[in-house]
């Protein structure tokens, strides 16, 4: 399937759709998932247009993975979850619903299951507050790797 430049993440990258951004860098953008599966669910995407991990350049993939870990560290510091899922889906049959490659950072809390994937939109005020907490951790981070 050819990359669709009108997918929602491409629109967010072009500034045509809003997002609660936590990180805005040369190669990657990080923002809150609109329909979080847990408190602090964050997405990291490359600026390079690629549908899945199979279409992305090796150079950008390396930056994307390192950036994902950096954002995940900030989410960990901000939300102090017991565990953290970092995942990435390729193809509709794997559950991918937005066809611009992205990593999910999903904090896990004791005794709390996940809400359903891409199902309930969170309150904007909550997403704004969560993004601010993650941005604050990224700003004060001691490491850049
Ligand atoms: P996928 O199913 O492709 O792995 O994940 C897509 C993710 O994007 C889902 O977790 C879904 O909640 C999220 N999502 C879908 N539409 C939007 C949107 O307009 N804005 C944001 N921030 N997230 C979205």
Tell me the mean pLDDT in the region 30-42.
Answer: 97
For residue 99, the CA-to-ligand 1 centroid distance in Å is 10
* 144 pLDDT higher than 80: no
Q: What's the pLDDT tens digit per position in 96-109?
A: 999 999 999 999 99
Quote the mean pLDDT of the chain: 96
Task: State the pLDDT at residue 127.
Answer: 98
For residue 30, the CA-to-ligand 1 centroid distance in Å is 12
Residue 80 lies in a domain: yes
Q: Is 104 a catalytic residue?
A: no
Residue 3 lies in a domain: no
**CATH no. for residue 125?**
3.30.428.10
Asked if 18 and 104 count as a contact pair (C-beta separation under 8 A), the reply is no
Residue 30 lies in a domain: yes
Task: Outline where DSSP puts E strands in 1-145.
Answer: 21-24, 28-32, 42-46, 83-87, 103-108
In the chain, how many domains are there? 1
Ligand 1 mutation target, pool 7, 38, 43, most atoms within 8 A of CB = 43
Residue 133 lies in a domain: yes
85 lines ligand 1 (CB under 6 A): no
Owning domain of residue 42: 8-144
Q: What's the pLDDT tens digit per position in 56-81?
A: 999 999 999 999 999 999 999 999 99
Report the C-alpha gap between 88 and 65 in whole angstroms: 11
This prediction's pTM: 0.97
84 lines ligand 1 (CB under 6 A): no
103 lines ligand 1 (CB under 6 A): no
For residue 104, the CA-to-ligand 1 centroid distance in Å is 9
Residue 86 lies in a domain: yes
Confidence bin at 145 (pLDDT 50/70/90): confident
Residue 35 lies in a domain: yes
Confidence bin at 27 (pLDDT 50/70/90): very high
Instruction: Answer positive or negative: Cα dihedral of 84, 55, 14, 62.
Output: positive
Query: What are the tokens at 73?
Result: 């560290």
Task: State the pLDDT at residue 22.
Answer: 98
89 lines ligand 1 (CB under 6 A): yes
Residue 24 lies in a domain: yes
Contacts of 8 by beta carbon, 8 Å cutoff, 6+ apart: 17, 98
Residue 100 lies in a domain: yes
Confidence bin at 118 (pLDDT 50/70/90): confident
* 116 pLDDT higher than 80: yes
From the candidates 20, 41, 100, 102, give the one annotated as an active-site residue: 102
Tell me the mean pLDDT in the region 87-93.
Answer: 97
Report the C-alpha gap between 55 and 51 in whole angstroms: 6
């Amino acid at each position: 399937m050819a990359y669709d430049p009108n997918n929602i993440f491409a629109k967010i990258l072009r500034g045509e759709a809003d997002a609660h951004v936590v990180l805005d860098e040369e190669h990657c953008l990080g923002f809150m998932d609109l329909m979080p599966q847990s408190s602090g669910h964050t997405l990291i995407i490359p600026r390079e247009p690629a549908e899945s991990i199979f279409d992305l350049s090796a150079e950008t993939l390396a930056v994307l993975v390192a950036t994902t870990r950096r954002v995940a560290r900030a989410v960990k510091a901000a939300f102090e979850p017991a565990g953290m899922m970092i995942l990435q889906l390729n193809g509709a049959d794997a559950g991918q619903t937005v066809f611009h490659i992205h990593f999910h950072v999903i904090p896990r809390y004791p005794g709390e299951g996940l809400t359903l994937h891409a199902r309930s939109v969170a309150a904007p005020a909550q997403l704004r507050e969560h993004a601010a907490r993650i941005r604050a951790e990224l700003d004060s981070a001691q490491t850049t790797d």
